[in-house]
Structure 1
Amino acid sequence: MAVTDGPTSEFPPDQVPGRGRDWYRGDCHVHSTHSNGGELTPDQLAADARAVGLDFVATTEHNNCAGHRDWAPYADDLLVILGQEVVTRTGHWLALGLEPEQVVDWRYGVRDGLVDGQLREVSRVGGLCVAAHPHAPYPCGVFMYPYGKFDVVEVWNGRWTSDLPWNADNEAALAEWGRGLAADIHGGRWRPALGNSDVHVAGQLGTPHTVVLAEELSTEAVLAGIRAGRSWIAESAAVELELTVSAGDRSAGIGDRLETAGDPAEVRVSVRGVPSGLVSFHTERGTAHRESLPEDGTGTVRWHTAADASAFVRVEVRHPDRTMAALTNPVVLN
């Protein structure tokens, strides 16, 4: 990763000093006026990011790097990850953690066999490759490349409200990712889920965003947390969630692997900020358990399983109208 001296340098710094191991909230799919349809400038987006409780954002303009320089004056306590939305003929993907002014080629489709070389270029600089909004209902938006080529899948893109057709696309992306988890885990490499706003206009930033366990607030540490699946997705900073799975004297959190040694496993999830919400536990057998939260939206739900019954456990939290409030990456059970 390229290192810069601070918010007065030509490019945003790749670390916010003094921030150690913690859960950090961020939006990795952000557009400014440098993208088609973008109505907000980087300074407006930076102010909005702080207002909605984000610790980091990624600048991901359509097929350009113009935002890499423009964000520098506004990156102080806010980490800005350099990136790009790569808009190809047969799907979009996010390149996160690019070098300053690095541009990833986009002039190809799935039949051209050229995407692999571009993915390697992103990996070469320590970056992360994300399959973006795989079921987006517009020309070139539907993602046609194999997930196996990518590090992460964006399963939640934009506001999940009951009156928008986009929810069908989010539901489809989540279901497709969820169906593949068991096989991917068995194969030794699973692709974590990511959620982003894909902001273009005011009021979208951070809805949703991803909450990442990172060793520090830096590009390298945040991308490492996302790559490992140590993350969950929230519709807003008002939603809080903690997931732990325990067996005997051992425990594991989101993105971790728990050696159960044959002991029964207790799954415990604590939630805040989802009044009368519905918590559901999911394994390779589908939805395994559901339980409602109190009217004030704060509660703890427990469920018991075992490694021979569940290869993994992940959690969804929905509002009473079935729109999504939060979802997690899995805890893997051995």
Structure 2
Amino acid sequence: MRFGLLPALLLLCAGVAAHTYAAERAPDVILRDAIPDTAFRTYRLLPFDVPEGVKAIEVRFDYTGREARTTIDVGLLGPGETFDAEFRGWSGGNKRSFILSSSDATPSYLASPVTPGRWQLLLGVPNIRKGQTSEFTAQVYFQRDDANGMPTPEAPLRAEAGWYRGDLHMHSAHSDGSCSSKSGEKRVPCPLFLTLDAAADRGLDFVAVTEHNTSSHVKELTALQPYFDKTLLIPGMEMTTFQGHANAFNLREPVDFRVSSTQVPDWNSLLRQAQAKGALVSINHPRVPTGEACMGCGWSPNPAADMSLLQAVEVVNGYDVESQTAGIPFWHEQLQKGHRLTAIGGSDTHDITSKNVFPPPGRMGVPTTVVYARELSIDGIVEGIRSGNVFVDTAGTRDRKLNLTATHKQVTVSMGGELSFPAKQTATFTVRVEQLINGTIEVIRDGAVTQRTDVPAATHSWSFKETSDGKRHWIRIDVRDGEGKLALIGNPIYVK
């Protein structure tokens, strides 16, 4: 479909640096148009060609003459024979950039597959004064098949490194989340906004929305992120199968979850799909029995899954901390086998209006996963979980902290790190606990408690020695509160 006269334009192709975001590399295409005063109240088209293998299109644009009240509206058309087929969205004059892919799009635009062919920016000129010419420039970035979904936001919510607190497991109306209707007279699918608002009210720095086997919520998260300017919204999916559940964080596209089918013969096939899309995968509630009360909930891949394709395990689900179905023993088994999985927790919230404390859905932010990250961004949190410098606050407090470091000579590592030192030599481990009094520190070595001591009331820090026997070990810390309840769960330092 065509609108008016095709304007003179210049398309410049630029080199592409793989695996980088648009802000960090040259654009794939630059579109330019000199818009004269005769374009007043007309439409113009700037065509560009999209090659094979592109998953997402990002467009950044600007124009001169704003001080003279020039206004240029922008929309996007894709390949098609009719306007209905071509139309991909219209933001008018309210944006200077937008992104579109099959699973996500900036509000005003429609999520749709990025098909190869001729695409066009659609420009409308509601105002340009006589004697004025506006120079319009658009930078178009193509994200390829190996770029793992949509780019993260341009700027982190917080740019500094530090401990960030969040909830990594929740559901809304996009899967099986439900709540009371506004009148309170019936149960209804719970709007995603209410779930996110509850997270913001809890003071959480980040949340992962992990709907069952769907990515329908991703576009809504993109639309809501500017409003939730203090709470990072991480897209995710609970890959729900008959042989177990696992959360895939930063997964923005569908994956074929039909484990034991012809298309997906086993869990390894599913995990490789998620890996190819750039997701971090964590096993959920691995010891919860599978049955009519919770279909497929227990971790039982057949054949066994390749644990190297997994990065984390949910050791606390809701209020289930130390029962027979809690996940810590399963995690310890994997650590003993040499699999370095990061322990995390998630509320598994399904109803943010529920007053029940047990069993789940539970309460938003209980437990809280606390991640040391370089910044508050999706990349920062995901990298932090991968690194293992993480602890779980089982009560979901806003201020408790646990830190463990190990030092040998001039080398110091934190949780998730590896410290190498020769046999018969000694390393110093230092524990720091904050905002928990009358508690007990437990040193856990290869799954067994080897030492206990009270949390020092004055210094909050305590050190102990470990002498190498020339073998591999893992050492981590648990902290119990004054009533003996497990309050803080630390990740290991690996001794080599």
Band the TM-score falls in, shorter-chain normalisation: 0.7 to 0.9
Aligned partner (choices 458, 461, 464) of residue 303 of structure 1: 464
Of 252, 255, 272, the match for 1:120: 272
The residue aligned with 2:255 is 104
Aligned partner of 2:172 in structure 1 is: 32
| 1:222-264 CA-partner distances (Å, limit 9, x unpaired) | 2122122121111222311121112223211111112334531
User: Could you tell me how far 1:297 is from its partner in structure 2?
Assistant: 10
Q: Quick one: which of 174, 181, 187 aligns to 2:335?
A: 181
Give a deviation string over 1:18-57, Cα, whole Å, max 9, x none.
5232222222212112222433432222222223232111
CA contact (8 A) 2:426 2:466 kept: yes
**Which of 315, 321, 325 matches 1:155?**
315
User: How many residues matched?
Assistant: 321
- The residue correspondences of 1:308-327 to structure 2 (distance < 5 A) are 308=469, 311-327=473-489
Please name the residue that 2:408 is paired with. Answer: 247
1:60 is aligned to: 210
The amino acid across from 1:226 in the alignment is: I
Q: TM-score of the superposition, structure 2-length normalised?
A: 0.59
Specify the SS of the correspondent of 1:312. strand
Where is the strand percentage greater, Structure 1 or Structure 2? 2
Between the aligned partners of 1:297 and 1:70, the Cα distance in structure 2 is 47
In the alignment, is the contact (CA less than 8 A) between 2:334 and 2:341 conserved in 1? no
Query: What residue ranges of structure 1 are gaps of 5+ in the alignment?
Result: none
Deviation at residue 180 of structure 1 after TM alignment: 2.9
Residue 212 of structure 2 contacts residue 238 of structure 2 at CA under 8 Å; is this kept in 1?
A: yes
Matched, 1:225 2:361: no
Residue 192 of structure 2: which of 34, 38, 42 is its match? 42
- Structure 2: where are the runs of 5+ without partners? 1-18, 23-57, 59-96, 100-104, 112-149, 180-189, 353-361
Contact 2:244 2:297 in 1 (8 A): yes
Structure having the higher helix fraction is: 1
Q: Which runs of 4+ in 1 moved over 4 A?
A: 1-8, 109-112
1:191 to 337, 341, 361: 341
Secondary structure of the structure 2 residue equivalent to 1:23: strand
Q: Deviations over 1:137-193 (max 9, x none)?
A: 3331111124614221111111247xxxx83211xx201211331331xxxx52221
Residue 35 of structure 1 aligns to a residue in which SS? Answer: coil
Give 1:61 shift: 0.8
Point out the structure with max Rg over C-alpha: 2
The farther-off stretch of 30-39 and 87-96 is 30-39
Distance 2:166 2:432 in 1: 21
> Could you tell me how far 1:298 is from its partner in structure 2?
7.8
Secondary structure in 1 aligned to 2:212?
A: coil
Instruction: Say yes or no: does 1:9 pair with 2:97.
Output: no
The residue identity in structure 2 corresponding to 1:126 is G
Residue 139 of structure 1 is matched in structure 2 by: 295
1:168 aligned counterpart, secondary structure: coil
Query: Alpha-carbon deviation of 1:285?
Result: 5.9
Query: Take 1:193 and 1:82, find their aligned partners in 2: how far apart are those partners?
Result: 20
Query: Partner of 1:169 in structure 2?
Result: 325
Q: Does 1:211 align with 2:364?
A: no
Aligned counterpart in structure 2 of residue 256 of structure 1, from 395, 414, 417: 417
Query: How far, CA to CA, are the matches of 1:37 and 1:48 in structure 2?
Result: 14
- Local SS of the residue matching 1:29: coil
Instruction: Verify the 8 A CA contact 1:23 1:212 in the aligned structure 2.
Output: yes
Task: Please give the TM-score of this superposition, normalised by the length of structure 1.
Answer: 0.85
The amino acid of 1:57's aligned partner reads V
Shift of 1:283: 1.0
Deviations 1:8-27 (A, max 9, x none): 93499734255232222222
- Quick one: distance in 1 between partners of 2:455 and 2:374? 31
Residue identity over aligned pairs, in percent, reads 27
- Name the amino acid aligned to 1:14: T
Q: Which residue of 2 aligns with 1:82?
A: 235
User: In the alignment, residue 36 of structure 1 is paired with which amino acid?
Assistant: D
